[in-house]
Structures are given as C-alpha cells and as structure tokens.
Amino acid sequence: MNGYQRFFHGSTKVCIDVGALPMSLDTKADLFRLRLRPWTEKITDQSFRLLATVLASLVGLILAAILLTVLAGSRTAMATFGLGFLTTSNWNPVTNEYGAFTAIYGTLATSLLSLLIAVPLGVGTAIFLTENFIPSKARQIIGMMVELLAAIPSVVLGLWAIFVMEPFLRPLLNSLHATLGWLPFFSTEPEGPGIAPAILILVVMILPIITAIARDSLSQVPTELRQAAYGIGTSRWGAIFQVILPAAISGIAGGVMLSLGRAMGETMAVTMIIGNSNNFSLSLLAPGNTIASMLANQFGEADGSQVSSLMYAAFVLMLLTLVVNVLAQWVVRRLSLRYT
C-alpha cells in the first residue's frame, strides 16, 4: 500500500485492490505530492478563515469604541447638565455653563432645509439623466460631472463659499431681509456668514449624493415596466410619476435619508460659512452653529468641562445620525418589499 492509497485519516477499511485500479493511476498519481493535504495547508486554511472573521468583527469593535469613547468623554457634562443641555443655549467657557440648543437647532435647520431644496433638484436631475430627454452621450457626461462634484473636498467648497458664493449672495439676502423681514426667519440683517449660506453650500454638497442614488434606483427600474406604462397610453411624465418613481421609491428614499445623515454631520464647509455663533436666533440670515461646526471650531482649544460638553454634543450628533442611518436602512428594506 503506498501513501496515495492511504486515504482518509487513520482509516482501517481501505482495501483497494491495486490490480483492479486503472493502470495509469499508479504511475502518475505518485507525482501528486499533496493528494493528502499536509497539516500546514489545513492550518493556513483555518487561520485565514479566523483572520477574516477577526477583521470583520473589527467593524463592530470600532463602532463600540467610538460610542464608548464619546460616552466616556461626555460623562461629566451629562452629570452636570443632564437633559437641560439639549434645551438651553448658554455656551460660556468662562462660567462653565453649556447648553447645545443653538447647535442642535442649527444642525436640524440646516440639514432639513438643505434637503428640502436638494431633493426636488436631485430627483429631477436624476430623472433627466435616466429618461431619454437628451442623447445618452450627453447624459453620461452630465452624470460624470455630478459624480465628480461629489469628489470635491468640502474644505474647498468652504473656501469657495467664503470668497465667491457669499459675496455673490449678499445682495440677494439683503433684499430678502428688506421684503420679508417681518418674518422671524428673515428678521436680521445679513452680515456675511450665516445659516442661509450654510444651507446653500450644504445643498451643493448633498446634491450629488441624492442625484447619484436616485439615478441608480431609476435606472434599475425594469424596461418592461416602462413599456407597460407607455403601452397603455400614459404620457411620458405620467409614466414617470405613476410608474417609474414609485418603483424606484425605496432607493430614492434611502438615498434621501443617507444625505440627511451626511448633511447633519457635514463639517468643514459649514464651519467656514455659518459664522459660529452660539447666540440663538430663529433668523436664517443670522450667524449660527451646528454641532459639527462647534466641534471643529472649539475642540482643539478646549479643556476641562468644555471638552466634556463638546463630547456630549458629539454624542447627540452621533445619536441623530445613527437614527437617520438606521431609519434609512429600514426604509429601503420596507419599501423595496412593497414595490419589487
């Protein structure tokens, strides 16, 4: 019995009649040294599996570490200010009194309002780029430009916002204040940086995301569905609104939620243009703050209870984005079950 025939480990039942085997096996099979796997090969196999598992579990570990670090850092502030932190708008490093209402309001106002502007623009553009309004070559070029827009770093957009967009917008915002100044939202004189320019730069930032995701979802709508809609005599936009958009709704809704999360956490461009003021004002023309811009602005120079308060604010931001992102995943799953 040669090694080749000693097959499964420690087997006792091997009784191969060599004569009964086809001839060429004997001579040639001896050349296959690894027919019986050496232990090193099995160890490699198993340790690779283990390695992949460990690396995959690092994701959970990092998430937990982020949560714990932020939570641990904010312990003092949580104990001192409690939930009042969320509803007061004092931010005074001298007296060590902190309340994040201005920043939380700023975060919600900028992200929601920018979404309000960006969703119709983005979805409209996505429709324009998936239905055959213009030649496919042109569609591809515009689509690529939109994707490249997403690649521009936010700090560059911030620079552009400070020196180009804001001066350009100033007269516009001034006239807005002049005509609609009786509304609390436009009640202050525009003085450069403020919530309104921050909203507009956020629109520029999240538009590529919404457009790209909506475009993907729309292009995945099966052609048969389109043909069915046109086949019963629907007009082009009738088909878009009644058949194509509903079929793509899960992806679009998910994309909208994801961009909401992105807008909430967006830091640099907003920090550079929002004015970083902790004084609460309903007016969109006044300078304000978001949690992210407050962190970017103050974290480097803060110490003691201010660091803890900033960590508390960071924790609030994390919770907000976490809820939005989990909701996004849920929405996608929920709606896609309904439509496909």
Partner 1 sequence: MNTSMNPSSRPQSTNHNPETCLSLQNVSISYGNGKNVAVNNVFMEIPKGKVTAFIGPSGCGKSTVLRALNRMNDLIEGCGLKGRVLFDGQDLYDKRVDPVEVRRRIGMVFQKPNPFPKSIYENIAFGARINGYQGDMDELVESSLRKAALWDEAKDKLKESGFSLSGGQQQRLCIARTIAVEPEVILMDEPCSALDPISTLKIEETMHELKKTFTIVIVTHNMQQATRVSDLTGFFNVTDLVDYEGKVGCLEEFGETERIFNSPAQQATQDYVSGRFG
Partner 2 sequence: MYWRNGLCVVSAYVILESPMTTSPLASSGHRPADVAKSTLHRQPNLPRNRWNAVFTVLAGVFAAIVVLPLLLVLAYVVIKGGSSMSLKLLTDLPPAPGMTGGGIGNAILGTLIVSLIAALIAIPIGVGGGIYLAEYSKSGPFASFVRFGTNVLAGVPSIICGVFVYGLIVATRIFFDQSYSAMAGGIALAVLMLPTIIKTTDEGLKLVPQELRWGAIGVGASKFVTITRITLPTAMKPIATGIVLSIARAAGETAPLIFTALFSPFWPEGLFNPIASMSVLIYNFAIMPYDVQIALAWATSFVLVMMILIMNIFARYLGSLNRI
User: Which of 1, 2, 24, 301 is close enough to bind partner 1 by CB under 8 A?
Assistant: 24
What is the smallest separation between the CB atom of 201 and partner 2, expressed in angstroms? Answer: 9
Site for partner 2 in 146-175 (CB under 8 A): 146-149, 151-160, 162-164
CA-CA distances (angstroms) from residue 69 to 80, 303, 328? Answer: 18, 16, 25
What is the smallest separation between the CB atom of 18 and partner 1, expressed in angstroms? Answer: 10
For the chain, the C-alpha Rg in angstroms (whole number) is 30
What is the smallest separation between the CB atom of 127 and partner 2, expressed in angstroms? Answer: 5
* Cβ proximity of 209 and 125 under 8 Å: no
Site for partner 2 in 32-71 (CB under 8 A): 37, 41-42, 44-45, 48-49, 51-60, 62-63, 65-66, 69-70
Q: Which of 151, 122, 143, 148 is nearest to 248 (CA)?
A: 122
* Cβ proximity of 260 and 110 under 8 Å: no
Among 7-15, 22-30, 179-187, 326-334, the segment contacting partner 2 (CB under 8 A): 326-334
CA distance 14 to 180: 94
* Cβ proximity of 264 and 199 under 8 Å: no
- H helix or E strand, kind and range, residue 92: strand 91-92
Among 10-18, 86-94, 201-209, 278-286, the segment contacting partner 2 (CB under 8 A): 201-209
CA distance 84 to 77: 11
Residue placing its CB nearer to partner 2 in the complex, 99 or 275: 275
User: Which of 1, 9, 60, 132 is close enough to bind partner 1 by CB under 8 A?
Assistant: 9
Max Cα distance, the chain (Å): 104
Residue placing its CB nearer to partner 2 in the complex, 194 or 283: 194
What is the smallest separation between the CB atom of 230 and partner 2, expressed in angstroms? Answer: 12
User: Which of 1, 2, 6, 25 is close enough to bind partner 1 by CB under 8 A?
Assistant: 25
Is the dihedral angle over the CA atoms 17, 20, 22, 23 positive or is it negative? positive
Under rule CB under 8 A, residue 59 binds partner 1 = no
What backbone phi and psi angles, to 5 degrees, belong to 91? -145, 90
Q: Quick one: tokens of 241?
A: 């609104």
CA distance 269 to 154: 5
Under rule CB under 8 A, residue 301 binds partner 1 = no
**Which does residue 16 touch among partner 2, partner 1, none (CB within 5 to 8 A, set by kind)?**
partner 1
Under rule CB under 8 A, residue 335 binds partner 2 = yes
**Which does residue 8 touch among partner 1, partner 2, none (CB within 5 to 8 A, set by kind)?**
partner 1
Provide the binding-site residues for partner 1, judged by CB under 8 A.
7-11, 13-17, 20-22, 24-25, 28-29, 31-37, 42, 45
